[in-house]
Structure 1
Amino acid sequence: MTNQQPPGFPTDRLEQLRSGLSVVERRIDAACAAAGRPRSEVTLVVVTKTYPASDTRLLASLGVREVAENRDQDAAPKAADCADLPLVWHFVGQLQTNKARSVARYAHHVHSIDRSRLVTALSEAVLRAERPGLGCLVQVALDGGSAAGRAGVDPDRVGELADLIADTPGLRLDGVMTVAPLTGPLAGDPAAAFGRLAEIATAVRASHPAATMVSAGMSGDLEQAIAAGATHVRVGTAVLGARSPLG
Structure 2
Amino acid sequence: MRKGLRGSIVENLNSVTERIVTACRFCNRPADAVTLLAVSKTRPAADLRAAYTAGQRHFGENYLQEALDKQAELTDLDIVWHFIGPLQSNKTRDVAAHFHWLHTVDRLKVARRLSEQRPADLPPLNICLQVNIDAEESKSGIAPEELPALAAAVAGLPNLRLRGLMAIPAPRGASEDQRIPFRQLAVLLETLKAQLPEQPLDTLSMGMSADMEAAIFSGATIVRIGTDIFGARK
Amino acid at match of 1:63: G
| SS, match of residue 111 in structure 2 | helix
For 1:202 and 1:120, the matched residues in 2 are separated by 24
Q: Which residue of 2 aligns with 1:202?
A: 190
- With normalisation by structure 2, the TM-score equals 0.91
Structure 2 residue corresponding to 1:43, chosen from 32, 35, 44? 35
For 2:115 and 2:232, the matched residues in 1 are separated by 37
The runs of at least 4 aligned residues of structure 1 exceeding 6 Å deviation read none
Alignment of 1:160 with 2:160, yes or no, is no
**Structure 1, unaligned runs of 5 or more:** 1-11
Amino acid at match of 1:232: I
Report how far residue 16 of structure 1 moved. 1.1
Amino acid at match of 1:77: D
For 1:220 and 1:157, the matched residues in 2 are separated by 29
Which deviates more from structure 2 when the two are superposed, residues 169-178 or residues 202-211?
A: 202-211
Structure 2 residue corresponding to 1:72, chosen from 64, 69, 76? 64
For 1:66 and 1:107, the matched residues in 2 are separated by 11
**Structure 2, unaligned runs of 5 or more:** none
Q: Which residue of 2 aligns with 1:7?
A: none
Alignment of 1:125 with 2:117, yes or no, is yes
Q: Which residue of 2 aligns with 1:9?
A: none
Q: Which residue of 2 aligns with 1:218?
A: 208
For 2:43 and 2:137, the matched residues in 1 are separated by 30
Number of aligned pairs?
226
For 1:29 and 1:138, the matched residues in 2 are separated by 27
Q: CA 1:117 to 1:17, structure 2 compared with 1: closer, same or farther past 3 Å?
A: same
Alignment of 1:134 with 2:148, yes or no, is no
Percent identity of paired positions between Structure 1 and Structure 2: 39
- With normalisation by structure 1, the TM-score equals 0.87
Alignment of 1:96 with 2:88, yes or no, is yes
For 1:191 and 1:27, the matched residues in 2 are separated by 17
Computed over aligned residues only, the root mean square deviation of the Cα atoms, in angstroms, reads 1.8
Report how far residue 242 of structure 1 moved. 2.4
Report how far residue 84 of structure 1 moved. 1.5
Report how far residue 243 of structure 1 moved. 5.9
